[in-house]
Structure 1
Amino acid sequence: MIRLLLLSWLLPQVSCLTKRTETRSMKPFRLYENFHREGDLIVGGNLPLFRAVVKDPSFKEYFREQDHPELKLVPKNYQYILALQFAIKEINEDRTLLPNVTLGSRIYTECNFASKTMEATLSLLSTGRQMVPNYKCNRRDQLLSVIGSLDATTSRQMASILGSFKIPQLGYGSFNCDKEDETVPSSFCRIDPNQVLQCRGLVQLLLYFHWNWIGLLAPEESSGENFIQTLTPLLTQNDICVAFARRVIPETVAFLQHGKIWMKHISDLFKSDVQVVIVFLDSNTLRNLLGPMSVMKKLNKISARKVWVLTAQWDFVTEGSQKQWKGLKSFHGALSFQIYSKEVPGFAQFLSELDPHQPQADAFLCRWWRVVFDCEFLGSGLIPSRSKRKCTGEEKLEDLPAFVFSVTMTGHSYSIYNAVHSVAHALHDTMHSPGTNRAVMGGVNRLPKLQPWQEIPFARCVKRCPPGQSRRVPEEKPVCCYECISCPEGTFSNQTDATHCTSCPEDQCPNKDGDQCLLKKINFLPYQETGGVLLASLALFLSLITLLMLATFIKQRDTPIVKANNRSLTYVLLVSLLLCFLCSFLFIGRPRKVTCLLRQTTFGIVFSVAISSVLAKTITVVLAFMATKPGNMARKLLARQPANSIVLICPLIQTAICVVWLATSPPFPNLDFHSIAGEIVVECNEGSVTMFYNVLSFMGFLALASFTVAFLARKLPDSFNEAKFITFSMLVFCSVWVSFVPTYLSTKGKIMVAVEIFSILASGAGLLACIFLPKCYIILLKPNLNSREHLMRKTGI
């Protein structure tokens, strides 16, 4: 675009009038020209070197529109002028870039006043010191381009005039991310950082520090509106809320006129709960804000104590002496985006060669030299103060503090340096290669990598939701003012400010805090655990007792107490009880396919044999006593041995039930992920629950029948029958299994297995103790009672 503008510039301009009488009759305005260096073509500049100082910072009396505040030199800003001069020097020394063309410069210093900006711009379009726009009396000193301003408002004012003459202007301006700003002439080219990228950088910065409750300060003009309109959607997309967006009056005079209003704005800002404020203001406008802030601190003895995030429009390093502006303390701890810059070869040497005594030195150098080195020149027309020394011209710039002047090119100076080179290269392409359009870029602006602070301010309306919680926005509340709720059971969140909680994988579960998933524990009853050891030991002990009893009864098989009540049934009952105790081991350990198939079926069949034997023994007792009465049918029934039929038929029925169970829906190993929170239950799925309870029901039926018969025969002579003991044993057996059902249904995992094992052992031990322990007592400790005569005498036979 610069090249196209230069093409229009090369067209014939208004011819110079030759009669001096006509020139004198125009009575042009006069404006003090700060610096002018002749050349074939002129690169103009309007750069900030001075700043306005408010004489009455309390704003009790503010200036009228025609009044101007005092202007003070900002030492750091002189580098802008030096960067422009150095770039022109490099271009003039490069004979291949613009051969036979010499660039000159004409620089004015902006004071942030509209009237002075207009005068300076019109003067750039005029000849010499006379303000006659676009009126040239010679071929030299023709205006090629204008660099500046570094302030968006001033740049717009200049562009309104330069655009009419198609003069390329490279400066700071407003932006619009969606379309071109129609209020800015096409001759204007921006050299400030890309604002869209800067907005993205601001969002990344806020996300990095987890700030989502912020304020905005922007100029009350189109650039400020564009900034807010571009930044706000990005903030909304990332759940960052804007508590307020204040517009600042950019012009110095207008600001002074509204000083009292801004004192109230500053007071509200100080009292706001917002801890982070993004400031999109240039150095001039932002300086106007520092005065009221300093006054507010003194009057109310309060401090903003906020984190200020400053965009690249603000050049902190150009503020000069710290003692000149105490208001900078209000920005202690501020974060500022830096304009890209890099070391320019030869610039340090150029600075070291500056000499205020040289005739060709610019008009700014002597005054600047006096300020930064605090000295006076002899013959300057001023009476030297006793407190100031003489300026020798040999002072070293390297000795100046960094906040006064930096020998390294700053970001704004680097932009000016690149702008001048861009103009030169565009002119080179226009003059020598009209068909080409090479773009010379000064480098890509990159934001510095931000490091986290050891301490982050609370720039939020609520505390952040830690991992393990999720956000919930109450009704009629901004999205940033959310509530934190704990993750529901079985879910987790491992991020701060999570929007929702997530379910863990099936084999994992949330930890106690709900901020991560852990592998679930495996739940089964192993031999290594205390419960497994105790149950296995108890099963072995009862099995050993049963074996000893069986051995005792076999050894004493010819004694009357063993022969009574069917000796064969006694052996069958003891063996079945032994198998009942041993089947407990099928329930201990990790369930496998074989153990799952055998566990319940073996338990059901073996216990059916045991209860059938008890029922057969009870019926045998009843029939034996009935057979002693003459003419009773019991003798015939005893001859048919009904006990053997009962012991055979009842287990066969239970076996048939188990076969149907295994054939239709057999048990199988299964992993249960949901019954117990945080654990994986390794279990034997019973397959058909109906068949499982059929097995239990049949055993209950046999136990109830045995209990009923034994209860009816409980009053028979004690020394000859065991009906009373069977009654007690069946009472224990039924009590155990009646309490087993609700307990079994209310437990899960290895506790359920332990309940069933305990029920097996307890019911078997009840049968063993109630039926056989009294007999063993007589056999081992009272052998004199184990005789036929004693038994016959007790029964009265």
Structure 2
Amino acid sequence: MFPFLGSILALLSQVLCKTSTSRCVTSNPPSFKHKYYYPGDLIIAAVTSQLYMASSHITFRRHPSEELFDEIINFVAKWTSLASMELLSTHDRFVPNYKCDDQNNVVSVIVGPNSHIFNFVATTLHFYKIPLLTYGSAPAGTTNSQFYFYHQMFPDEYHQNAGILQLLLNFKWTWVGVIFLGDERGEMFVQHVVPLFSQRGICYDFIQELPRASFFTQIDEMVTMWVERYKYIAQSTATVVIIHGENQVMIFLRIFLKVLEFEDVQMKTKGKVYIMMAQIEFTTLPLLKDWDIEIMHGVISFAVSSKEILGFQHFLQTRNPTSEKEENLIRIFWEQVFQCSFTNAISNENTEKICTGEEKLDTLPGSVFEMNMTGQSYSVYNAVYVVAHALQTMHLSKSKRTPVAYSRMLVNQQLWQLHHYLRSVSFNNSAGEKVSFDKNGKIEAGFDIINWIRCSNNSFIRVKVGNLDSKTSSNKLLRISVDDITWPSIFNQTPPLSLCNENCHPGYNKIKLEGKPFCCYDCVACPEGKISNQEDMDDCIQCQEDQYPNNAHNVCVPKYISFLSYQEPLGITLATSAVSFSLITVLVLGIFIKYWDTPVVRANNQNLTVTLLLVLLLSFLCTLLFIGQPRKLTCFLRHTAFAVIFSMALSCILAKTVVVILAFLATIPGSKMRKWVGKRLSSFIVSSCSVIQAMICIVWLATSPPFPDVDMHSMIEGIVLECNEGSAIMLYCVLGFMGLLAIISFTMAFLARKLPSSFNEAKFITFSMLVFCCVWLSFVPTYLSTKGKYTVAVEVFSILASSGGLLGCIFFPKCFIILVRPELNKHGQLIIKDKKRVI
């Protein structure tokens, strides 16, 4: 131990045990060889500060209507100011600013537990530059002149607010209620902290102010306000309620239910999880001793980090008020908690029991007295040693003096010199924890997270379930063990939800509801092509081009490759049909070659007939270019080969029609059309039309040829491998030219359909062109309404159907005559038949 530290503590025991609302008369301090002892009666002031805040030597006569409010009245400012003035007066002689003795000198004052008390004390004491150590939260509205003279044993509240936010986010509690005490600190919390929570996604169902302590003449009004507040809480859909305030809030909460009983208010309410600030310690009154504390079960509170002091409980167990030399705080406290009175005390008409002094504090339930050290008690304990170490350091920095000389120095020395040493103090307390202040005069400490559990005997225990490490970043500030938390009974040990509405499940996204907070929303399914793979997503995510959403719209699935292949039934069917039509065409060509010199074959130009059959054979075979995975060569040939081949087929039909018409006109006497009848005209028509189409295709291939491409968008579930036409204009030119040939051929065949049949194919050509046009007219809407490989299948089917129509309508009747009615395939029969038609 430092030299003279025992003398310093002896002096402190007489002056430091004074709080803002109480004055304790001290006895001789215990031997300092037990370093875990508190000096004098300070231990009682510390451990009872959160239990019986208004214990005082001042006795009030209670009015009957004050029964629930006698505790609150002790917070009136005049009693705090009176206690402050008494510190500056001669002991037991209240003469403000007059002190005739130098044995009881105020070196420092420990103020608490409520922050607003500080201002009343500081108003008086800061003129004397007396150091103030507050073990409550930072006082609001402290002036700069006052700031220098106080030191806060309560950690920085920024970390506590950040911890509450992390707690809400950790459990995804975004819909909460707020109750705050209507003082400056409560208003600052609502104005500055609540909006910061909103920026992180927290919404508020209600923000309600608790009525401040008032005189008994306003009790009816306060009861009415309490009932209204309770209705807000009970009717709220928020499961989590943040309670901001200080010790007296605990009394309000316990009185809530009792007031409802008096007022006969029946209201069903869902379970609530209350989150309390570290400034709120469990506080009770003798009147509340037997009241139910079910409301405390499952509460989560913050507390100043503390450690158990060795010998602390033993010291409490050995306390005996009968050994004290005078009636002081412990005797008053003893009477209150044990509901008795000492024989030499003023008789209380409500007290039937006489205090023996042998009662044991450890027999009291936890709802009346806690044997374990709380955060506020630990702060008071550290505050005493802070002053002691500061005085010791200041003494060593001056000169060596005897204890007596040093005591006189404290009387005469100006106290403002002590502040420098208080700010720079740093030591390890008896629990091994470092005690020091930051640059703002606040203790460097963290917070514990406490879970309150109600026991069967109407007592409770506090279980530490986590902590806040103020030295880490705000995102890692909170450490909590969810499995160790005991929730209110209604939740069956399941972490509760506190949301404005149910979560939007994966596959849905949120949409804002007009007139509601941003935490209240509706859920809509993701549109096509998008997913949401988490709950409560603001917007759905677009899948990558090679992926598509599953049916639940919560996962992107890889797309399959799609093209008309030879391995699938559709491709096999079309390929088989193409080959079958090709074989039929070859068969027809073989029949015509075998019966080359017959009248049916020779009619209407044999060469055109063979050319048409060959072109139809190529048209059937060219459909095989459309089946299979698109390659550069197949895309290059696919549309150009189809265009040239079909143009040749249409030009052959046109030539046949022209030949029929010219042949009929040439039979008329005196006709000049004979010179046009012959092979040269038909060859010219076929070659010229084919060359024109070929030239268009050459320009197409030279400027913007077709190429293999990938279509990611036409099909949701597949990637289509296709041939890109390159130039849509050239494709339309090719198709337009074929359409022109088809229209001309159909028109001329239609006009020549009634010519004599022995020279006439126009009737069959008309039917074939009618089929051809119907196929391609139906092709357009069908092609536009299909996607992927089915568009290619429509093209192949249209080519096969139109080519098959030409083959069947033109060549089937001739093959029927050749094979089935050979007697009609004679020159004489044709002449006789023609004569009959002419007659």
TM-score (norm 2): 0.72
Q: After TM superposition, give the deviation of residue 767 of structure 1 in Å.
A: 0.8
The whole-number CA distance in structure 2 between the counterparts of 1:559 and 1:786 is 7
Q: Which of the residues 688, 703, 716 maps onto 2:727?
A: 688
The whole-number CA distance in structure 2 between the counterparts of 1:367 and 1:728 is 121
1:25 corresponds to:
none
Q: After TM superposition, give the deviation of residue 396 of structure 1 in Å.
A: 10
The whole-number CA distance in structure 1 between the counterparts of 2:178 and 2:625 is 74
5 Å-filtered alignment, 1:695-714, equals 695-714=734-753
5 Å-filtered alignment, 1:222-621, equals 222-251=184-213, 253=215, 256=219, 258-266=221-229, 268-270=231-233, 272-273=235-236, 275=238, 276-296=240-260, 299-305=264-270, 307-313=272-278, 315=280, 324=289, 326=291, 328-344=293-309, 346-347=310-311, 350=314, 354=318, 356=320, 397=362, 408-432=372-396, 437-439=424-426, 440-441=435-436, 443-445=445-447, 446=468, 447-449=478-480, 451=482, 454=494, 456-460=496-500, 468-472=508-512, 474=514, 479-480=518-519, 496-499=535-538, 503-508=542-547, 519=558, 522-621=561-660
Whether contact under 8 Å (1:291, 1:327) holds in the other structure is no
Seen in structure 2, the aligned counterparts of structure 1 residues 68 and 720 have a Cα distance that, compared at 3 Å, is closer
Q: Which of the residues 708, 711, 717 maps onto 1:669?
A: 708
Seen in structure 2, the aligned counterparts of structure 1 residues 389 and 604 have a Cα distance that, compared at 3 Å, is same
Residue identity (%): 40
Q: Which amino acid aligns with 2:750?
A: F
Q: Which amino acid aligns with 1:454?
A: T
Structure 2 SS opposite 1:50: coil
In the alignment of these two chains, the number of paired residues is 719
1:400-424 CA-partner distances (Å, limit 9, x unpaired): 8765666654333333333333333
The whole-number CA distance in structure 1 between the counterparts of 2:76 and 2:28 is 25
The whole-number CA distance in structure 2 between the counterparts of 1:421 and 1:780 is 126
Whether contact under 8 Å (1:376, 1:391) holds in the other structure is no
1:199 aligned onto 2:161: yes
Q: After TM superposition, give the deviation of residue 606 of structure 1 in Å.
A: 0.8
Q: After TM superposition, give the deviation of residue 662 of structure 1 in Å.
A: 1.3
Q: After TM superposition, give the deviation of residue 766 of structure 1 in Å.
A: 0.6
Q: Which of the residues 775, 780, 784 maps onto 1:741?
A: 780
Q: After TM superposition, give the deviation of residue 750 of structure 1 in Å.
A: 3.0
Q: After TM superposition, give the deviation of residue 186 of structure 1 in Å.
A: 3.3
RMSD over aligned Cα, in angstroms? Answer: 4.8
Seen in structure 2, the aligned counterparts of structure 1 residues 327 and 227 have a Cα distance that, compared at 3 Å, is farther
Structure 2 SS opposite 1:167: coil
Structure 1 SS opposite 2:270: coil
Q: Which of the residues 689, 714, 718 maps onto 1:650?
A: 689
The whole-number CA distance in structure 1 between the counterparts of 2:756 and 2:286 is 121
1:151 aligned onto 2:95: no
Does 196-205 or 373-382 show the bigger shift?
373-382
Q: After TM superposition, give the deviation of residue 660 of structure 1 in Å.
A: 0.9
Whether contact under 8 Å (1:493, 1:501) holds in the other structure is yes
The whole-number CA distance in structure 2 between the counterparts of 1:408 and 1:111 is 26
Q: Which amino acid aligns with 1:470?
A: K
Q: Which amino acid aligns with 2:797?
A: F
1:165 corresponds to:
128
Does 138-147 or 36-45 show the bigger shift?
36-45
Q: Which amino acid aligns with 2:120?
A: Q
The whole-number CA distance in structure 1 between the counterparts of 2:209 and 2:253 is 12
Q: Which of the residues 17, 24, 27 maps onto 1:33?
A: 24
Q: After TM superposition, give the deviation of residue 658 of structure 1 in Å.
A: 0.4
Seen in structure 2, the aligned counterparts of structure 1 residues 417 and 530 have a Cα distance that, compared at 3 Å, is farther
Whether contact under 8 Å (1:506, 1:673) holds in the other structure is yes
Q: Which amino acid aligns with 1:293?
A: L
Q: Which runs of 5+ in 1 are unaligned?
A: 1-8, 11-29, 54-60, 73-109
Q: After TM superposition, give the deviation of residue 792 of structure 1 in Å.
A: 4.4
Q: After TM superposition, give the deviation of residue 328 of structure 1 in Å.
A: 3.2
Whether contact under 8 Å (2:81, 2:121) holds in the other structure is yes
The whole-number CA distance in structure 1 between the counterparts of 2:626 and 2:145 is 87
Q: Which amino acid aligns with 2:181?
A: P
Structure 2 SS opposite 1:589: coil
Q: After TM superposition, give the deviation of residue 657 of structure 1 in Å.
A: 0.6
The whole-number CA distance in structure 2 between the counterparts of 1:581 and 1:601 is 15
1:639-660 CA-partner distances (Å, limit 9, x unpaired): 4532222222211111001011
TM-score (norm 1): 0.76
Seen in structure 2, the aligned counterparts of structure 1 residues 347 and 666 have a Cα distance that, compared at 3 Å, is farther
1:221 corresponds to:
183
1:174-230 CA-partner distances (Å, limit 9, x unpaired): 6489x9655955322223343223223333344445555543322222111222222
The whole-number CA distance in structure 2 between the counterparts of 1:480 and 1:781 is 86
Q: Which amino acid aligns with 1:472?
A: K
1:661-701 CA-partner distances (Å, limit 9, x unpaired): 11122223334445555655443332222211111121122
1:698-733 CA-partner distances (Å, limit 9, x unpaired): 112222222233223323444664332221111111
1:71-128 CA-partner distances (Å, limit 9, x unpaired): 79xxxxxxxxxxxxxxxxxxxxxxxxxxxxxxxxxxxxx9545455445444555565
Whether contact under 8 Å (1:146, 1:168) holds in the other structure is yes
Structure 2 SS opposite 1:341: coil
Q: After TM superposition, give the deviation of residue 581 of structure 1 in Å.
A: 1.8
Q: After TM superposition, give the deviation of residue 548 of structure 1 in Å.
A: 3.0
Q: After TM superposition, give the deviation of residue 289 of structure 1 in Å.
A: 3.9
The whole-number CA distance in structure 1 between the counterparts of 2:397 and 2:788 is 87
Does 651-660 or 217-226 show the bigger shift?
217-226
Q: Which of the residues 808, 811, 821 maps onto 1:772?
A: 811
